[in-house]
Each structure stands twice: as C-alpha cells, then as structure tokens.
Structure 1
Amino acid sequence: MRSTRALKAAAVVALAILAAGCAQSDPTTPTAGPKSDHPAASATPSGLPAGITALGSTSPVAQQGWNLTLQPFQQAAAGTSAGDVPAGWTVLRTQARFTNTSGQIARLPDTVLTVRYGALGRSAVAVKDSTLTGLPTREEAVKAAPQGTVTAEIGVAVPPQAAGQLVTVTAEATQDGMAQADDLFFEGKLPGSATTDDSSGAPGGTNASTGAVQDLGTWSQNRVRISPITAGPAKDGRRSASAELTVANNQAQPRAGLGITLRVMTGTSLTEAAALTPGLDYSDAPVAPSRSATATLRFSLPATAVPGPVTVEATDRDGSRITFSGTVD
C-alpha cells in the first residue's frame, strides 16, 4: 500500500536537489564519506524523511478529498481508564481531525491508526472509553459537508520507558468504495523526558550477523531481528511463550508491513511447535520510510521442550528465508 502522497513528496524533493546541483558546482566540496548503515529518505523542511508529516500538521489523504490533522500526544486526564491497560502504563491522547475538501458531501474514509514508539517501533496499546471514543467505524458511515470537519479523540497506553521517545503514527485511510488504503505517516515526540536510550538495539553494520544461522537477539543482514524467547508457566502440557519480531525499513519508501511469516521449531529434530502469519497472528501495519517496526509474538511450546534449543525460520514476502537459533529456559 504505497502512499501516493509519499511518492509525490519524494519526487518534489528529488527535483529540488537536482536543480540545486545544476545551479552551483564547487570543486572544493569534500567527497562523500562511507555509505551509512541507515540510508535515509530525503528530508522535509521539518527534518523528517519525505513522506512523514510532523504531528500537528495537516496531510492530504491522496485523491480522496480529505485532509487529516493529527495533534501531538498529551497525557490523558487523571482517571481515564478503559480496557486492558497494562499496570503502570500511561494513557495518552491525541486528536484526529478530518476536513472534507471535496466540494461535496462525502463519507469519511475508513481509517485505522497504528501508534509505534521508540527507535524499534514498538506498538502502543489502543485505549477506548467514554472520552477517548476512537475513530468512527465503517458501519457508522459518518459524512461531512464541504469544508466540514470530523474530530475524534484517540487514546493509547505506553510503558513508562516510552516517555520522551519518538512516536510514529501510521494512518491507513480507505475511501468509500475503494479496496486499497492510502498510507499516511505522522511523527513527533511523546510527552515526558526520555530516561532510557532506545536506540541501542537499532540495526547497524557492526552488529549484523553474516552467518547462515543468526543468534536470537541479533540483526540479519537484511535488517530483521527476533529477540530471545521468553517462556511462561506450563498449562495442559504447553508453555506460553513470547518474543519480539523487528524489521527495519531502511528505504526511502514505506514498507507494506513487517510481512514476515515464522515457524518455531524445538529440539535438535526441529519439531514444529508454532506458525505465525502477519495480519493473523500479529498486527501488521505499513512501516514508515527509514523507520523500524516491532511486533510482539505470542505462541506456545511443548512443556517438554523447555528448557532446550529452539529454531525460528523467518520467511519474507519475497520468499527469502532467515534462520535464527537459541535456547529457551
């Protein structure tokens, strides 16, 4: 689901750079240094990669006749609570405002928001209550007159260590009668002061493994990582288990989700214990240019296989496969 707006923005920036290079040539200009391990998209005036809009700014929803403004996150009022908010997490709020620019009465695009925080793009937990009502559903069929607006209060919960961290919001907006969504990306900082360095686990050339089998917790050459597996208590002959899957998009264009299918195998005989499919077994929204995304994987293992060796095969959409191995205690 490649964003039309992102392609236009990248083209404009590329033309501007080309024009500048033709207009001025300085033979004393130093040559470029070594290629970065993190190829960055062309920067917008706000300092963000092309295709990402700063929180508080307005972005057109492709050719759908709507503008979307997403406000910076603020801490929700005391007493706000709803749903399954993990203990100790902070509830934050933002406001999404859609403006109908089509010149006629129009139905609000069906929109899904994904909020990721930190350098690794971990997912915030959606929160809804009587105040944080969330976006209208498709079934509500909300409409607006020309230049009319629709405003929604959005709530999410994040852990304490997310304070002051980068936050990237993916908005997947689907026009009435269309099958493909337009992907918009907004970015800013979460409220509070950062107390941890979340960038330490980001991919880089020095810690990417080159072997045929990757250790759990290390980055592959194509910027995929699976964390060590954590096992929970036993029940009915199985042990609950979890791990994190992280994919770094080092391209100047959005990535259409993590898109990694996984097989978890135990023991030296590689007995298959779990299979995980993107979109079914874990949430899988598009990944912004030059950003990472992390999904929490939840599955179970035979109790008899813990402790013991574990192998995870990760298959990308293009069919390429990566093997990770480690132990689970």
Structure 2
Amino acid sequence: MPTMRKSKAAALAVLTALLAVGCSSNTSSAPEASRTSAAADQVGALPEGIAAIGSSVTVADESWKLSLEPFEKTEPTSSAQDVPTGWQTLRTKAVFTNTGPEIALLPDTTVTVRYGDLGRPAVLFHDTGLSGLPDPDEDTKVKPGARFTADLGIAVPAQAAGQRATVTAETTEEGLAQAEAVFFEGSLPGTAQASSDPSPTAPSSAGAVLPLGSWYDKRLRISALTLNATENGRRSATLDLTVVNDQPESKPGLDVTVRVLTGDDLALAATARPVLDYADAPIAPRRTATQTVQLQLPATAVPGPVTVEAVERDGTRATFDGQAK
C-alpha cells in the first residue's frame, strides 16, 4: 500500500513498512484524458464495485473524480525509501479532478495495493519524483474543473509479475468524518507464473481440527507458523492470516482474533488481532486479503506442536494445528 493518510487513520502506523507512497504533484485545468479498457481486458470481468485501472470513479460525495493509470516499471534511485531487497518497483498516476463549482481542498486520501489471488500487500514507497500526496494539513486547493496528479511508487516481489493488483482508495472530503472507499483493479507488468498459493476454491479440509495451511469453509486460512530469532526468552514467529470477502460489498477489515496454543496441554502462548494496512481498511468486494501476523512465543515451547484458533467477530472458531519449526 503511502504517506497518503486520512485524518481518522492514525492506525496507519501499524504497518509503517507497508505504506509509503510516492508522488510528484501538479494541478491542471486541461480536460481529463480519455482512458482505455485495456486493464479490464487483462483481468476479465470485474465484480460490481471494482473499476478497471484506467477508468475514473466519483469520490468524496461525488465532488471529485479519481482515476488511476496502468502500472509501469520504474528504476529506483539511491533516494528510494522502504523498497524491500530484490523487489520490483512500479509507478502509477492518481488523478483527482474537481467536478464541483468552487475551489476545493483535495480530499484526504489513503491508498493501498494488494496483489495476487490471496491479496498480499504491496509496499508503497518514496523516491525522487515520487514524493506522495500532500499531507492533509497542507490544505491543497484545486480550482473547479482542474486536476491534481500524483505519481505513486509501488514495490512488489518478482513473483507478483503479471498478477492481479487491487487498489483501494479511501477519501474523506473536507468537513466530513466518514471515509468513502473505492476500488480499482488491473494487472501488474510482466508475465504471470503459475502460483503456488492455495486457492480458496479448493475443497476445505474435513474435521473439527484442520491442518495449518488449509482452508476453513473456503473463506479463512491460517498458514504454517515460521519461527525466527530468540531474545529474552521469547521466540519471534510469523504466520499468514487470509480472509475471503465473498460478499458484493466491501468488508471492513479482517475481523479475526488469532490465538496460539502450544504443547499437548494447549498452553496459551500468544493472542493477536491483526489489522490490514490500517485499523478499518476494507477488503474489496469478492476479493481476498492476506496479512502477516507477528507473534512472540515462549522460547521453551517451540519448536514443537502448536494449535491456532481463529475467532471471528460472531464467535465462530476455526481450529488448526501443526508444527512450529
């Protein structure tokens, strides 16, 4: 996903490494450029509520139009910030058009990007000429009929080439507390390779306790748990939580609590309530989101057997088990 922030989203700092946006900004009163449907052709028919990259949608209580241009490859400079080693760097333009009759402040905007069938997070970064949308406190003004253009920098791993990319833009108009989310989708540059990610369309595992890495009811998955360094008697560990939004409307966040229990006596070792790029970041209609969960476990309890509970807001529990190694 930027330093593009909406005023209500202080929780953006939860995953600071995932949100740094780049952009060079300008305003123009030229008519909005015509767009093609090439992006839509690449990804096939889109669910209702998701626009093809290259098209424009109304935002901020229909006072603005927002469009995104197709992703293009770009080479990072020595000034690039927050680009993971070995990842590819891309850019796109976000264009805001003031469709109202008066000079207006640019909507406070948050942008995030997820790629692939499992909706893994891309990293938005800063670089020379990719300086991000202005801070809301800067009160950027745009004349009626004029445009504000921002160049955004996005980093993805090499294996993401050619995969689907879903962009979420949440805008908050001046004077309004409620943010409005819109979604765009297109393909990343390059040739897609066969994905090793497990598909939620695969049959769900049977039984009350599922193996880690399998799907619960084709809508929730907990990956195997990976152990990392030990410090002060605690062992850091990670797992991926994947949630499917199978509804025609956006879903507000993951809404799942993860509980990790260790050993045969099922001692509670860690509890986490992961969020996406910020606390109430939505999942697009008919799409999936994956978030890596950071955990701290007793070093004496792992490696070894672990049981992971995923507890949804309504109290539904899915139980997985496997080995932490």
1:303 to 278, 299, 303: 299
Q: 1:146 to 1:281 in 2, by over 3 A?
A: closer
2: distance between equivalents of 1:284 and 1:232? 29
Aligned-partner residue type, residue 259 of structure 1: D
Q: Looking at CA atoms only, which structure, 1 or 2, has the larger radius of gyration?
A: 1
Farther-moved stretch of structure 1 (117-126 vs 268-277): 268-277
Aligned match of 2:126:
128
Match for residue 52 of structure 1 among 30, 50, 53: 50
Q: Letter of the aligned partner of 1:234 in structure 2?
A: T
1:29-62 CA-partner distances (Å, limit 9, x unpaired): xxxxxxxxxxxxxxxxx72111111111101115
Farther-moved stretch of structure 1 (183-192 vs 299-308): 299-308
Runs of 4+ aligned residues of structure 1 deviating over 6 Å after TM superposition are: 280-283
Q: Distance in 2 between matches of 1:167 and 1:281?
A: 15
Gaps of 5+ in 1: 1-45
Q: How does 1:129-168 map to 2 (within 5 A)?
A: 129-168=127-166
Aligned counterpart, 1:207: 203
Which residue does the alignment assign to 2:72?
74
Structure 1 counterpart of 2:322: 326
Q: 2:105 aligns with which of 107, 115, 121?
A: 107
**How far apart are 1:280 and its partner, in Å?**
8.4
- Aligned twin of 2:189: 191
TM-score when normalising by structure 2:
0.81
Number of aligned residue pairs:
283
Are the structure 2 counterparts of residues 314 and 128 from structure 1 closer, same or farther at C-alpha, using a change threshold of 3 Å? same
Residue type at the aligned position of 2:259? R
Post-superposition shift, 1:267?
1.8
Question: Relative contact order, CA 8 A, sep 6+: which one is greater?
Answer: 2
Question: Per the alignment, in what secondary structure is the counterpart of residue 263 of structure 1?
Answer: strand
Matched residue of 1:161: which SS? helix
1:272–1:167 CA distance, 2 compared to 1 (3 A): same
8 Å contact from structure 2 (residues 112, 277) kept in 1? no
Checking the alignment, whether the CA contact within 8 Å between 1:115 and 1:168 is kept in structure 2 is yes
Question: Does residue 259 in structure 1 map to residue 280 in structure 2?
Answer: no
| Cα separation, 1, equivalents of 2:200 and 2:58 | 32
Sequence identity (%): 53
Q: Does 1:314 align with 2:316?
A: no
Q: Kindly state the Cα deviation for residue 77 of structure 1 after the two structures are TM-superposed.
A: 3.2
TM-score by length of 1: 0.80
- Structure 2 equivalent of residue 235 of structure 1: 231
Question: Structure 2: any 5+ residue segments left out of the alignment?
Answer: 1-43
